[in-house]
A = this chain, B = another copy of it.
Amino acid sequence: MLRILIDMDDVMADAIARFLEWYERDFGVKYSREQLHGTKLSEIVPPENRQKVLMYPHTKGFFKDLPVIEDSKEIIEALNNTYEIFVVSAAMEFKHSLYEKFEWLDEHFPFIPWKRRVFCGDKTIAKGDVLIDDHDFNLSVFNGRPIVFTAPHNVHYTKYERMNKWRDAHNFFDELLST
């Protein structure tokens, strides 16, 4: 059975929303997603605020209650009926994220059991046929079919197939058409 590996942050869970929310809370300035085009928040804030932004994902609570990326739940549930779905997150960079990500999956993606969850660092460890991810450093080391899921920081990537929205998944997986 085809095995599809799916990244969490900015593919299933909207981590960018939390960055923007916490920045506004701390500095009173509300950046928009459009301002992140081709880059990320830590690169466009005043240099004196950069370190604090970089520490956000290391902070307890950052990954708790993140919004679910549009249509991801419904489409991944449909994919899960046909393919072997594994959630593969580079969560090890952020030790407080481990429990929060697990709980988040329990709440929003209960159909992905613990056996199909992977928290790692370097995704060269992950064996699968397809990887849907938002980062070049994950996609470029993957030994199968890499698909970039569109996020503001990756709009300039040109070397991967691109999925802009989960509702476009049927363009990549024919069997979805019949579900």
Contact = CB atoms under 8 A, between A and B. Distances in A.
Contacts of A103: 95
Contacts of A117: 92, 120-121
B92 A99 contact: no
Q: How many copies does the complex hold?
A: 2
A120 B92 CA distance: 12
A127 interface: yes
A124 B127 contact: yes
**Which 7 residue pairs across A and B have the least CB separation, nearest first?**
A115-B121, A98-B98, A92-B114, A127-B127, A115-B122, A118-B120, A119-B119
30 contacts: A88-B125, A92-B102, A92-B114, A92-B117, A92-B118, A92-B119, A93-B114, A95-B103, A95-B114, A96-B99, A98-B99, A98-B119, A113-B121, A114-B121, A115-B121, A115-B122, A117-B121, A118-B118, A118-B119, A118-B120, A118-B121, A118-B125, A119-B119, A119-B120, A120-B120, A125-B126, A125-B127, A125-B128, A126-B126, A127-B143
Interface of A: 86, 88, 92-93, 95-96, 98-99, 102-103, 113-122, 124-128, 143
